[in-house]
Amino acid sequence: MHVSPALRERLATIVGRDSVLSTQDETLVYECDGYTLERSAPEIVVLPRTTAETSQIIRALSDADVPFVPRGAGTGLSGGALPLGAPVMICTSRMNRIRDVDTANRRVVCESGVVNAWVSRAVREAGLYYAPDPSSQPACTIGGNIAENSGGPHTLKYGVTTNHVLGVEIVLPDGEIADLGGVVEDTPGYDLTGLVVGSEGTFGIVTAATLRLLRQPERTCTFLAVYESVDDASETVSGLIGHGIIPAALEMMDRLIIEAVEAAYHFGFPTDAGAVLIIELDGAAAALEEDSARVLAVCRQNRARDVRVAGDEQERALLWKSRKRAFGAIGRLAPNYCTQDGVVPRTRLPDILRRISAAASTHRLRIANVFHAGDGNIHPILLYDERDPDEVERVLAAGAEILQACIELGGSVTGEHGIGIEKVAHMPRLFSPDDLIAMQQLRAVFDPRGLSNPNKVFPDSKTCVEVRRPRRQVPI
Ligand SMILES: Cc1cc2nc3c(=O)[nH]c(=O)nc-3n(C[C@H](O)[C@H](O)[C@H](O)COP(=O)(O)OP(=O)(O)OC[C@H]3O[C@@H](n4cnc5c(N)ncnc54)[C@H](O)[C@@H]3O)c2cc1C
């Protein structure tokens, strides 16, 4: 499917010529998101500045029956923003204004291209913050977070994106602008906002959102617990939750990641350790003292060889910087990597980590682990070199094996990165044909012609994507 000269002209009239990109040089950067195994440049990229422009763009596409793919910052890790049967990409990066900050009612209204970290920055002085904090938060957008229902280190205690979105403004695939939800905690009728969150761009383009803000905790206390083995660290995770302690964050890094992070950021991680846990408590000062003692006891019961407490805010910030930039350090380990995302009940963490290790041996790969352990949300990072086709095949096989193990252990094939194109083939392993049909019927209420982000999420006999080759150029 191609964009006709007439449609191209109509789009340029709506947004201006400088907001329509179509040369090979201009579109190359949009050929993939953070899932780099599959690539396909869009025919054109349109960069609206307002909701009205987005609505006009989508109306023009709808009139011409041309599908489109929404894109925020392109940090997605499941290929959700890959143009697949959608020649037009609508990128929200210029819709980046915070429209309203209401500190009294603890909410903010922002456009969907606003970067996640900007929200907390805008309300910091008022003692507030926006809780969902994906590790990609210096780059990823609120629209992308909503589409993926993103989590982050601090969502263990505070909940993922869906728990913090009060309402959305969305342009539906026929160009109509709809306001869903509202500014109050609960609105009568069906929870349509809840439906949009996590819909991976298949219901239209979110142009703005009303987000809930939280008060900054009175105090935080951050521990670094060091273990000889991943098993002991995993047992600590189960132990903490079992003792009724819900840390604000509970993150694990294994030896490979510790080595890379230490080489990059020099925090002082012990590079001979099997695993470390970052455990953060927050709340009222009095309660923290008691909980801190319990955390130390559980760590020691599970053979922590050392437990350090971040001495001041600077040390805490460096610790989190090291964790949140862990992915950036992986370049030190291999030319390419593929991050898997799965989830298991947290008591099954030791089992899934053993299965990951077995997959690494079977397929002769190095797999590093850094993940939101408290949620049971694993992120094995499969290291490879894309110039070695055999290794790429082994990465794909090991990834599939790990996801199958997640299902067998009572979990699911995505904890937070979404289905995108990467995991469509796994959907029938999780859902019955009737379930999948019911979900597609629901999608059709919003998008009866399948114009918004086609070929994602659902396997379809005609269009089912099987990801087999690295850097394959997907025909549009
Ligand atoms: C280093 C790194 C660390 C990460 N850490 C985390 C983490 O801790 N937790 C986590 O959950 N994820 C994490 N991610 C994944 C990713 O950052 C999130 O999925 C993020 O929400 C994507 O936002 P984005 O703006 O980049 O969206 P994109 O990648 O541009 O798009 C993602 C999906 O959302 C759709 N979309 C984008 N904008 C809109 C919109 N306005 N309306 C409708 N649909 C839209 C796209 O079509 C696509 O399907 C990480 C990624 C990287 C690279």
Residues 6 or more apart whose Cβ sits within 8 Å of residue 441 = none
Segment holding 129, helix H or strand E: strand 128-129
CA-nearest residue for atom 5, ligand 1, is: 135
Q: Is 232 in the pocket of ligand 1 (CB under 6 A)?
A: no
Contact of 101 with 26, CB cutoff 8 Å: no
For residue 263, the number of C-alpha atoms closer than 13 Å in the C-beta half-sphere is 13
Q: Is 173 in the pocket of ligand 1 (CB under 6 A)?
A: no
Q: Is 178 helix (H, G, I), strand (E, B) or coil?
A: strand
In three state form, how does the secondary structure of 249-280 look?
EEEEEEHHHHHHHHHHHCCCCCCCCCEEEEEE
Hunting for tokens 């910091």 — which residue is that?
124
34 CA from centroid of ligand 1 (Å): 9
The identity of residue 285, as a single letter, is: A
Q: What is the pLDDT of residues 378-411, one digit of tens each?
A: 999 999 998 999 999 999 999 999 999 999 999 9
Q: Is 181 in the pocket of ligand 1 (CB under 6 A)?
A: no
Q: Is 411 in the pocket of ligand 1 (CB under 6 A)?
A: no
Atom of ligand 1 nearest to the CA of 326: 1
The identity of residue 184, as a single letter, is: V
139 CA from centroid of ligand 1 (Å): 9
Q: Is 151 in the pocket of ligand 1 (CB under 6 A)?
A: yes
CA separation for the pair 333, 348 (Å, rounded): 28
In 191-245, alpha helices (H): 192-196, 230-242
DSSP symbol at 46: E
Q: Is 205 in the pocket of ligand 1 (CB under 6 A)?
A: yes
Q: Is 417 in the pocket of ligand 1 (CB under 6 A)?
A: yes
CA separation for the pair 284, 77 (Å, rounded): 36
Dig out the tokens for 366 from the structure: 């190095």
Residues 6 or more apart whose Cβ sits within 8 Å of residue 255 = 271, 273, 274, 275
pLDDT at 467: 40
Residue 397 φ/ψ region, left for φ over 0, alpha for ψ in the -120 to 50 degree band, beta for the rest? alpha
CA separation for the pair 369, 123 (Å, rounded): 33
pLDDT at 363: 98
Contact of 250 with 240, CB cutoff 8 Å: yes
Residues β-bridged to residue 377: 343, 372
Q: Is 197 in the pocket of ligand 1 (CB under 6 A)?
A: no
Q: Is 71 in the pocket of ligand 1 (CB under 6 A)?
A: yes
Please report which confidence band the pLDDT of residue 302 belongs to, taking 50, 70 and 90 as the band edges. very high
458 CA from centroid of ligand 1 (Å): 18
Hunting for tokens 């992915």 — which residue is that?
327
243 CA from centroid of ligand 1 (Å): 34
Q: Is 453 in the pocket of ligand 1 (CB under 6 A)?
A: yes
Terminal CA-CA length for the chain = 6
Q: What is the pLDDT of residues 92-110, one digit of tens each?
A: 999 999 999 999 999 999 9
Please report which confidence band the pLDDT of residue 265 belongs to, taking 50, 70 and 90 as the band edges. confident
75 CA from centroid of ligand 1 (Å): 5
Q: Is 327 in the pocket of ligand 1 (CB under 6 A)?
A: yes
Dig out the tokens for 101 from the structure: 């900050």
200 CA from centroid of ligand 1 (Å): 9
* Residue 471 reports pLDDT greater than 80: no
Percent of the chain residues topping a pLDDT of 90:
82
Output the CA angle 456-460-465, nearest 5 degrees: 60
Q: Is 474 in the pocket of ligand 1 (CB under 6 A)?
A: no
Nearest CA to 209 out of 247, 173, 171 is that of 171
* Residue 461 reports pLDDT greater than 70: no
> For the CA atoms of the chain, what is the radius of gyration?
22
140 CA from centroid of ligand 1 (Å): 6
Dig out the tokens for 89 from the structure: 């990409």
Nearest CA to 421 out of 138, 86, 65 is that of 86
Q: What is the mean pLDDT of residues 161-183?
A: 96
pLDDT at 186: 79
Lowest mean pLDDT among 77-81, 177-181, 349-353: 349-353
pLDDT at 468: 40
CA separation for the pair 165, 131 (Å, rounded): 11
* Residue 466 reports pLDDT greater than 60: no
CA-nearest residue for atom 16, ligand 1, is: 76
74 CA from centroid of ligand 1 (Å): 6
Q: What is the mean pLDDT of residues 311-326?
A: 89
Ligand 1 pocket, mutate which of 71, 91, 177 (most atoms under 8 A from CB): 71
pLDDT at 474: 44
pLDDT at 392: 92
pLDDT at 267: 85
DSSP symbol at 189: S
Q: What is the mean pLDDT of residues 288-293?
A: 92
Q: Is 338 in the pocket of ligand 1 (CB under 6 A)?
A: no
Q: Is 75 in the pocket of ligand 1 (CB under 6 A)?
A: yes
CA separation for the pair 180, 191 (Å, rounded): 8
pLDDT at 131: 97
Ligand 1 pocket, mutate which of 69, 77, 164, 253 (most atoms under 8 A from CB): 77
Hunting for tokens 């970052």 — which residue is that?
278
Q: Is 80 in the pocket of ligand 1 (CB under 6 A)?
A: yes
Is the Cα dihedral 202, 206, 211, 216 positive or negative?
A: positive
Q: Is 221 helix (H, G, I), strand (E, B) or coil?
A: strand
C-alpha of 284 from chain center: 30
199 CA from centroid of ligand 1 (Å): 12
Nearest CA to 246 out of 294, 303, 285 is that of 294
CA separation for the pair 99, 106 (Å, rounded): 14
Mean pLDDT, the chain, rounded, equals 93
DSSP symbol at 412: B
* Residue 473 reports pLDDT greater than 50: no
Q: What is the pLDDT of residues 218-249, one digit of tens each?
A: 999 999 999 999 999 999 998 998 899 999 99
CA-nearest residue for atom 35, ligand 1, is: 201
Higher pLDDT, 290 or 46: 46
CA-nearest residue for atom 27, ligand 1, is: 144
Contact of 298 with 213, CB cutoff 8 Å: no
Q: Is 147 in the pocket of ligand 1 (CB under 6 A)?
A: yes
CA separation for the pair 54, 14 (Å, rounded): 9
In three state form, how does the secondary structure of 305-354 look?
CEEEECCCHHHHHHHHHHHHCHHHHHHHCCCEEEECCEECCHHHHHHHHH
φ, ψ for residue 403, nearest 5 deg: -65, -40
